[in-house]
Amino acid sequence: MENSRKRPAPKRRIQSQINITPLIDVLLVLIVIFMVITPVTSKGLDTAIPRKAPTSAATLAKPQDSLVVIVERDGAITLNHHSLNSMSELASRLQDIFRTRNDRTIIVQGAGSLDFEVIAHVIDTAVGSGASRVGLLTDEIQ
């Protein structure tokens, strides 16, 4: 009868070590998420570095005047001190000027109380007319 008695099952020993497999899984998921979120290439502003100017006679000729578009508080638009009636007139004048010009830079100055939407519309019109670079003219910061 002694042999017919079942032995008690040995108790499992409690592990004192941490199971790190789930922690590694979470870590790998976080690494993948951060790799996807982080942009791979950094994008900065395009800048033009001035080069040493040649001293030939052709380059010493009178430089072309800057194109300055001024937008007043009342919405009046002037291009190099010539009044314009509308954006379409500004577009046609700029297209005529850019046909004969190599420098396609334009400077935009707006009154301080204007919404930027008005200035953005002028910039869009200038770029649509052929301007490749646009500068913003601001008041002096005190």
Strands (E) in 1-142, as ranges, are 67-71, 77-79, 82-84, 105-110, 133-137
Evaluate whether residue 104 is within a structural domain.
yes
Residue 132, domain extent: 67-137
* 13 DSSP assignment: P
Q: Is residue 49 part of a domain?
A: no
Query: Domain tally for the chain?
Result: 1
pLDDT given at position 72: 87
State the CATH number of the domain containing residue 103: 3.30.420.270
Indicate the helix (H) or strand (E) that contains 29.
helix 21-37
Residue 82 has pLDDT above 80, yes or no: yes
Evaluate whether residue 132 is within a structural domain.
yes
Tens digit of pLDDT for each residue in 6-34? Answer: 777 667 777 677 788 888 999 999 999 98
For residue range 93-114, what is the model confidence (pLDDT) as tens digits?
888 888 888 888 888 888 878 8
pTM above 0.85, yes or no: no
62 inside domain: no
